[in-house]
Structure 1
Amino acid sequence: MFPKKMSARLAFPGLAAVFAAFFFAAGAPTPLLSLRQQEWHFSTGTLGIAFSAYAIGLLAALLGAGSLSDHVGRRPVMLAALAAELAAMIGFVLAPSITWVIGSRILQGIATGLATSAFSAAITEQAPARFKKFAGGLAAGSVAGGLGVGALVTGAAVQFTSDANTVIFSALTAIMALGLVFVGFTSETTPKWPGALRSLIPRIGVPAALRSEFAAGVPVHVAGWMFPAFFLGLSPAILRLHFALDGGLVAGFTAFLGPFAAAVSSFTFNRHPARQATIIGTSLTLIGVIVVLIGVNQTWLAAVWIGAVLGGTGFGASFGGQVRLIVPHIQPHQRAGVFSGIYTVAYLAFGLPVIIAGQLVPILGPVPTFQWYAAAIVAFAVPAVVIQLVRQRRDTASALTPAAPAA
């Protein structure tokens, strides 16, 4: 048994770093899948499935075990997630075919699903008092930043090394092993609650008092998470088929910009009121996807990059804002279940549209497929802004209404 003596001051940033490593690993396959497509000659539809298999495994884990750490504790679930992620990294190193890669992606998704709610809750609970409000943004920044940096570093490895797959996933294997040791030395942050087996029945654990806010955030999450999914799942195919660019570095850099901007903005907008951050962020996502659409239609790569930064900034602001609107009102034993609900919506938006788009590329072509994809983002972003503006007005009216005198 590991000793439990690490201070919260060290555990807080350390857990965020380990959590980010999961998403570094999730972003890493983006340039590699494009390279494998050229080497193994599988279709764009299969490419979409290989990318989104991760989201399928993640959703299965979130729905089945998303609130498990509320019952058995954070540490056991985090350690199980790291062990599964370690196995997935070894699978990527040894993969001889796309079928093996898809299997490893599913296992990686299961591991990340186990990690998502447990790490998000543990990061919040380990945060020193003065950083409690900052913790939600840090968790969101770990997700977005990890995805972007993973794609960029792997793209550079594809460009400048002869065996990028082995280099990247061997390093990640070592990182996950170190993460196992680190988490083993952290303290447990929540008491055990009965009902662990019952918690494995798939459901989204959103308390009744939070359901209105949760529902209002659904279109925000769908628009926000569809945006980086395009860059991580489909942009390499667009770059190769439409822009005639197949270098690993350009694919990695294009996939990096949006998530990295999201990571930065999740910290920047953490100083703004949560509702305001959500409204500004969703508006920027809307503007960003329109700029990217112009860039794709005109074969203008600079516009694609500018749109990626704008939309990524919006994604980070809106997702962090929505998390901050909900987290202060969650009871400790509900925390993992609520994070499970948030990320279930997020990863449905992250994975399912890419699978559909991947099947449409051979039929419609890359540009018309992206035009429909962009239209779907707009269709969610516009009502999301309207809903949040209405709720902001309601919040303001409630704050100005004097409280009734006590009897």
Structure 2
Amino acid sequence: MQALSPGRRPQPWSYGVLLVLLMLGQATSAIPSPLYSLYAEKWDYPPFLTTVIFAAYGAVAVVAILVSGPLSDRYGRRPVLLVAVLLLLAGLAVFLVAAGPGYLVVARMLNGLGIGAIVVVGGAALLDVSPERAARSGTFTAIAFNVGIAVAALGTAALARTGFHPLFLPYLADALIALVLLVLLLVMREPHPSAGAVPLGIPRPQVPREIRGRFVFSVIGAGAAWAVLGVCFSLEPSIASHAADIDGPFFGGVVIASVTLAAALAQVVSARFPARTVALVGDTSLAVFMLAGVGGFATGNAVVITVTVALQGGAYGLAFGGSLRHLTAHIPAERRGAVMSMFYLLAYGALITPTLLVGIGATLWSDTAIFPVFSVLAAVLCLSAVVVERVLGRREGQPEQVLTPAAGVREASEAG
């Protein structure tokens, strides 16, 4: 890779701007979650439609993840990020003028395209801007993701509790921050030194035979974790509020923040431990805490429910982070894009499909009735990842490579 001349190198503040952009992307994804109950009450639509709105985001985000990497390699990080922020702003504008649930679907799709591109291209740009900080960029990114979600969820829920334009002000505040970042991106120098020299091409998702056992283990564990996350971001806030008999969206925001902050802490603490061990501990713990969550929710105690979901969030962080690191440590360099494309296709499928099924069940019966069923099935899926590792994934006598925190981000950025 060619080096940039001193006059063309990104400005010192570029790294911080990119981290804030990554945080903003995840914050934007989290703003509607505490508000879904208000939208449902306002327009009187069933729980299934809430999960459709959420799934629309995931469906288009995976498209952005697959194509934004190659586009940024060919045309530069900056142009792709500018378009991504414009898509964020377009989605926020639709939220501001929403007159029915159809508007929410469109808004989430626009945001999904923008956020998917920001995740991939923003992570790659961090490494371009400051390759010497590669070992810390992964940790910083994980913190930015989860803190962005937690702040947005709590801030939105707190505002909703006051009743002061909760369906307007959160999106307006987010849009103002996005506009500031858009201006900064306009004056930021292109960080990718090889922009324009790389041929454009989208990798065909595939998995080399020699890592298929490892891939199956990783994608089952990550898929189970994302299935839990999908329900957490769509229906679990209202389920928790119903279980604790707390009106309004504030407690739902606390639930989301508890999950994401616990996940961030778990990922930071586990970053130096072997990825396979972290993934196995995460899968097993998530299964246990999902089953324990059935009893926790049944108590109707807000403190018990909050602790339960925080434990689930910590286990989610271990399961997903460990699974991703376990896979990326052994992908042949020339197949990284193809393997990561397949990984994210299946992971987003795991995010979307169970969420929709839970939405159908909640519509036909009730959210509190379907949640224990989902919890048991999620636990079975987590334990199946452990079984797969025992049967297919273990390579006797081979020490595991310990991956630095940045490697997960680097491999994700190379999905294109």
User: Residues 94 and 107 of structure 2 are in contact (CA less than 8 Å); yes or no, is this contact kept in structure 1?
Assistant: yes
1:311, distance to aligned residue in structure 2 (A): 1.5
Partner of 2:118: 115
The aligned counterpart of 1:230 is 231
Question: Is residue 251 of structure 2 the alignment partner of residue 250 of structure 1?
Answer: yes
1:389–1:135 Cα change, 3 Å: farther
Cα shift at 1:59: 2.4
Q: Give the equivalent residue in structure 2 for 1:155.
A: 157
- For the 8 Å contact 1:46–1:358, the answer to whether it is kept is yes
Is 2:26 aligned against 1:23?
Answer: yes
Shift of 1:112: 1.6
* Counterpart secondary structure, 2:398: helix
Alpha-carbon distance in structure 2 between the residues aligned to 1:305 and 1:388: 31
Q: Contact 1:141/1:262 (CA < 8 Å) preserved in 2?
A: no
Aligned to 1:44: 47
Mapping of residues 2-401 of structure 1, within 5 Å: 4-7=8-11, 10-65=13-68, 67-129=70-132, 131-184=133-186, 185-189=188-192, 191-192=194-195, 194-196=198-200, 198-199=201-202, 203-204=204-205, 212-327=213-328, 339-388=340-389, 394=395, 397-399=397-399
Larger mean CA deviation between 109-118 and 381-390 belongs to 381-390
CA contact (8 A) 1:223 1:380 kept: yes
Write the distance in 1 (CA, Å) between the matches of 2:35 and 2:129: 35
The one-character-per-residue Cα deviations of 1:277-328 (angstroms, maximum 9, x if unpaired) are: 2222222222221221112234343332222111211222232223333445
Q: Secondary structure at the match of 2:74?
A: helix
Supply the distance in 2 between the matched residues of 1:237 and 1:249 (Cα, whole angstroms): 10
Structure 2 CA distance for partners of 1:311 and 1:100, relative to 1, 3 Å: same
Runs of 5+ consecutive residues of structure 2 not aligned to the other structure:
1-6, 401-416
8 Å contact from structure 1 (residues 278, 388) kept in 2: no
AA at the equivalent of 1:18: L
Percent pairwise identity? 24
Contact 2:205/2:341 (<8 A) preserved: yes
Map of 2:413 onto structure 1: none
2:222, 2:324 within 8 Å by CA — same for their partners in 1? no
Query: What's the Cα RMSD here?
Result: 2.9
Q: Which moved more, 1:325-334 or 1:15-24?
A: 325-334
Greater Cα offset, 35-44 or 294-303: 294-303
After TM superposition, the score normalised by the length of structure 2 is 0.84
Show CA shifts across 1:100-146 (max 9, x none).
111101111111222222223333444443x4233334334433333
Once residues 81 and 205 of structure 1 are traced to their aligned partners in structure 2, the CA distance between those partners, rounded to angstroms, is 27
Per the TM alignment, residue 267 of structure 1 is displaced from its structure 2 partner at its CA by: 1.3
1:346 CA displacement: 2.8
The gaps in structure 1 that reach 5 residues or longer are: 401-407
- Structure 1 contact 149–260 (Cα < 8 Å) conserved: no
Query: Closer, same or farther in 2 for the Cα pair 1:122/1:391, shift >3 Å?
Result: farther
Residues 63, 146 of structure 1: alpha-carbon distance in 2 compared, 3 angstrom cutoff: same
Q: Using the alignment, how far apart are the partners of 1:332 and 1:77 within structure 2? A: 24
CA distance in 2, matches of 1:38, 1:58: 27
CA contact (8 A) 2:62 2:345 kept: yes
CA change 1:338–1:19 in 2 (3 A) is farther
- Once the two structures are overlaid, the 10-residue window that deviates more, 177-186 or 43-52, is 177-186
Compute the displacement of 1:190 (Å): 5.4
Identify the range of structure 1 (325-334 vs 242-251) with the bigger mean alpha-carbon deviation.
Answer: 325-334
Cα deviations by residue, 1:3-24 (Å, 9 ceiling, x for unpaired): 95434x6433432221121111
For residue 156 of structure 1, report the CA deviation from its aligned partner: 0.7
Return the offset for 1:257: 0.6
Cα displacement (A) at 1:331: 8.0
State the partner residue of 1:405. none
Distance 2:181 2:17 in 1: 9
- Go from structure 1 to structure 2 and tell me whether the alpha carbon gap of 1:22 and 1:341 turns closer, same or farther (over 3 Å shift): farther
SS state at 1:305 partner: helix
- TM-score for both structures, normalised by structure 1: 0.85
Q: Distance in 1 between matches of 2:82 and 2:215?
A: 29
